[in-house]
Amino acid sequence: MKRRTFIKSTALGVGAAVISNPLLIKAAAGQTNINNEFPIAIASANGIRAVDKAVEMMNDGSDAIDAVIKGVNIIEADPDDMSVGYGGLPNEEGVVELDSCCMHGPTHNAGAVASLRNIKHPSQVAKLVMQRTDHVLLAGEGALRFAKAHGFKEEDLLTDKAREVWLYWKESLSNKDNWFTPGEEEKIPEEIRKHFGITGTITCLGIDKQGNISGVTTTSGLAFKIPGRVGDSPIIGAGLYVDNEVGACGSTGRGEENLKNLTCFLIVEFMRQGMTPTEACMAGVKRVVLNTKIKSLIDEKGKINYNVSYYALNKKGEFGAASIYGPHEYSININGKGELKKADFLYENKN
Ligand code: GLY
């Protein structure tokens, strides 16, 4: 277990156990897009190329929904990002299963796919669910058939690197099975071990030149999950939420806790009540921490043993992000070149 030290408390010096009402706690001031310059795009830290692509497209007149999806397509196709699309870490049986959703502010419409296998760009399929059906979420075999009906070709999404990480994980699960353990856990190369138990993901939100807001979230989900496990990323309100009159929020990190709190919806509602995006994200973080009661999610020192992160922007173009553990960064592009900015966080994560 990593040693984690509580140091930064925007909860005015109190620990997770005594946070009483996140609604009453003010976090640091949000980042301001002083000139209200549009277009802008915000994404998780792995999304610099996504925000650059999205802003480039919106500058050329694209609707934000098309722009943010084209942005995350770059990461879905990148085998080196092992939390999204092609090259994502597989389920416990070695099969890559992808989740994604998108939401279009002007129409308040949404589409999603869950447990989709063999299709590199689940976000594109999610957009087709939104645009070409009156459903919101297709899962598993039905989602695959729908994708193929629209001309998507099946591909093996498991790269050699992801297979190798999965195999190490499988071999080190137990010394009571027929798989030889490759060594003590500390002997597993750090390059491999760092991928155990991750919940990566990319989320990207944008405001186009018309001032309309859209967003997308896409992921390979929890590494080595039970086949069929669906996280927060394809669930509207959990992994993404957009209200064109207020703003948008997307999330990365442990999906189960977002599912139980519908945190992205909550954060947009916090912004509706007047919080800045950073304040709203931090209030969402505190709500999740407050609602964490399951013993397996709390270490022997009483600290939360997982992370979630939120990224938000509002109608004015203000933006921000917050996570349980930091330091943590996010990608932002205000009508120019993407850069990484530091997100707010509750606790410092010391490895
Ligand atoms: N947030 C990604 C997942 O838990 O699946």
Strand order in the sheet with 137-139: 137-139, 109-116, 98-104, 213-219, 202-207, 40-44, 329-334, 339-342
Q: Which atom of ligand 1 is nearest to the CA of 254?
A: 4
Q: Which atom of ligand 1 is nearest to the CA of 255?
A: 4
* Residue 201 known to be catalytic: yes
Copy the structure tokens of residue 105: 């502010």
Mean pLDDT of 228-256: 97
Contact of 88 with 79, CB cutoff 8 Å: no
Q: Is residue 169 part of a domain?
A: no
Q: Which atom of ligand 1 is nearest to the CA of 219?
A: 2
C-alpha span between 272 and 265 (Å, rounded): 11
C-alpha span between 77 and 88 (Å, rounded): 10
Copy the structure tokens of residue 107: 């129409």
State pTM to two decimals: 0.89
User: What digits encode the pLDDT tens for the residues 115-152?
Assistant: 999 999 999 999 999 999 999 999 999 999 999 999 99
C-alpha span between 70 and 49 (Å, rounded): 10
Q: Is residue 17 part of a domain?
A: no
Mean pLDDT of 97-105: 98
CA 91–ligand 1 middle distance (angstroms): 13
219 lines ligand 1 (CB under 6 A): yes
CA 98–ligand 1 middle distance (angstroms): 10
Which CATH number does the domain housing residue 85 bear? 3.60.20.30
- What pLDDT is stored for residue 211 in this prediction? 96
CA 209–ligand 1 middle distance (angstroms): 31
Mean pLDDT of 59-81: 97
Q: Is residue 270 part of a domain?
A: yes
Three-class SS state of 239: coil
250 lines ligand 1 (CB under 6 A): no
CA 345–ligand 1 middle distance (angstroms): 19
Q: Which atom of ligand 1 is nearest to the CA of 220?
A: 5
Mean pLDDT of 91-99: 97
User: What digits encode the pLDDT tens for the residues 179-211?
Assistant: 887 765 556 677 676 666 666 799 999 999 999
- What pLDDT is stored for residue 102 in this prediction? 98
Contact of 312 with 333, CB cutoff 8 Å: no
User: What digits encode the pLDDT tens for the residues 285-306?
Assistant: 999 999 999 999 998 888 899 9
Q: Whose CA is nearest to atom 4 of ligand 1?
A: 255
Q: Is residue 301 part of a domain?
A: yes
Q: Is residue 203 part of a domain?
A: yes
What is the 8-class DSSP label of residue 7? -
- What pLDDT is stored for residue 31 in this prediction? 72
CA 255–ligand 1 middle distance (angstroms): 4
Copy the structure tokens of residue 271: 């912004």
At 301, which amino acid appears? Answer: K
Residue 129 neighbours by CB under 8 Å, 6+ apart: 111, 112, 113, 135, 136, 137, 138, 143, 146
231 lines ligand 1 (CB under 6 A): yes
The residue whose two tokens read 């020192």 is 301
The rounded mean pLDDT for the chain is: 88
- Catalytic annotation, pick one of 10, 159, 199, 201: 201
Q: Is residue 294 part of a domain?
A: yes
- What pLDDT is stored for residue 174 in this prediction? 83
Q: Is residue 297 part of a domain?
A: yes
203 lines ligand 1 (CB under 6 A): no
The residue length of the chain stands at: 351
Residue 268: strand pairing partners: none
The DSSP-derived string for 32-74 is --TT--S-EEEEEGGGHHHHHHHHHHHHTT--HHHHHHHHHHH
**Overall domain count for the chain:** 1
Residue 266: enclosing H or E segment and its boundaries?
helix 263-272
Range of the domain at 92: 35-158+198-348
Distance of CA 170 to the CA centre of its chain: 25
Q: Is residue 100 part of a domain?
A: yes
